[in-house]
């Protein structure tokens, strides 16, 4: 873990040159999320019952108890691996992360979030020339880069990506879904670099974005987190978010009914939805 000076972090809109670094950061940040979600689904009672039924049928065909158990599980894992990336890449969005990042609206250099630590310390963030992030290879770059033309309308529909820049290195990012409902915002991904966790960077990104949206007349922010992630759940609770279904007078709020968890195989929830009134 690297000691981070939060007053030296510049939070700005993602630019064209940041796309590959943001993609690498997302890959690093959600590397185990998909596997945890698959394990969560495989251990649900209904899923176990279906696997047991198929195993019983295969037991009569293959005459091997081990194969009868392994084949249904293996096929289901393959199916989930193929169908799940859209849910785990950018939670709450129908877009996989490589398409979301590539087609998100890119702002100009003067679009920044206020950093409260700069006002306290009196220092200004130091911005250097971006460094090439270790681990990004040309072959990965070619594979992830979309050949589809990104139009301005598509950029606006995809939403916004804000990055935390410290001395030219992108150490965190936060995804804000496009505004589909008046005065309502949705955070669908928050990632910090593995060397900069537990340093307050995630809190800084979320609260700075909340302040910007509050100034733009937003009155509620939703956040989608992976269902089995206890760390993400604890983080959002700590900064004042409430899980959907636990708050008072939610039944009287028609706006709550429009925000539902992402669901996957057999309707099992893949995300938990948290909200905070600004």
Mind listing the pLDDT tens digit for each residue in 127-152? 555 544 444 444 444 444 444 566 76
pLDDT for residue 144: 45
Neighbours of 93 (CB within 10 A): 22
Q: What is the pLDDT of residues 9-66, one digit of tens each?
A: 888 888 888 888 888 888 777 667 777 878 888 888 888 998 999 998 888 888 788 8
Q: Is residue 128 part of a domain?
A: no
What range does the domain containing 169 cover?
1-122+152-247+261-277
DSSP string covering 82-132, please? HHSHHHHHSTTSSS-HHHHHHHSB---TT-EE--HHHHHH-------PPPP
Rounded to two decimals, the pTM is: 0.75
In-domain check, residue 130: no
pLDDT computed for residue 84 by the predictor: 67
Our count of domains for the chain comes to 1
Instruction: Give the C-alpha separation, 175 to 91, whole Å.
Output: 10
In the prediction, which pLDDT does 112 show? 84
In-domain check, residue 101: yes
In a domain, 132, yes or no: no
Residue in the structure block whose two tokens are 């820049």: 165
Q: Is residue 253 part of a domain?
A: no
Residue 204's CATH number:
3.40.630.30
pLDDT at 238: 92
Tell whether 129 is covered by a domain: no
Residue 25 domain-assigned (yes or no):
yes
């Amino acid at each position: 873990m690297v000691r981070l000076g939060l007053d030296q972090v510049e939070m700005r809109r993602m630019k064209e040159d940041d796309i590959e670094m943001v993609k690498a950061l997302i890959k690093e940040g959600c590397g185990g999320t998909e596997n945890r979600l698959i394990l969560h689904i495989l251990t649900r009672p209904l899923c176990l019952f279906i696997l047991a039924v198929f195993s019983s049928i295969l037991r009569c065909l293959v005459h091997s108890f081990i194969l009868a158990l392994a084949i249904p599980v293996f096929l289901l894992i393959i199916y989930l691996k193929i169908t799940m990336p859209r849910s785990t890449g950018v939670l709450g969005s129908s877009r996989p992360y490589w398409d979301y990042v590539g087609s998100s609206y890119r702002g100009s250099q003067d679009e920044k979030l206020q950093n409260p630590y700069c006002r306290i310390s009196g220092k200004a963030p130091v911005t250097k020339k971006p460094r090439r992030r270790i681990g990004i290879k040309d072959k990965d770059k070619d594979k992830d880069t979309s050949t589809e033309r990104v139009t301005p309308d598509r950029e606006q529909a995809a939403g916004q990506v804000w990055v935390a820049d410290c001395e030219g290195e992108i150490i965190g990012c936060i995804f804000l879904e496009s505004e589909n409902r008046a005065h309502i915002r949705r955070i669908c991904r928050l990632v910090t670099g593995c060397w900069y966790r537990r340093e307050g960077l995630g809190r800084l990104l979320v609260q700075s974005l909340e302040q910007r949206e509050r100034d733009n007349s937003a009155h509620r922010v939703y956040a989608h987190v992976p269902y089995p992630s206890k760390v993400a759940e604890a983080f959002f609770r700590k900064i004042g978010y409430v899980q959907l279904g636990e708050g008072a007078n939610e039944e009287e709020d028609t706006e709550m009914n429009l925000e539902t968890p992402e669901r996957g195989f057999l309707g099992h929830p893949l995300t938990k939805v948290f909200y905070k009134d600004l």
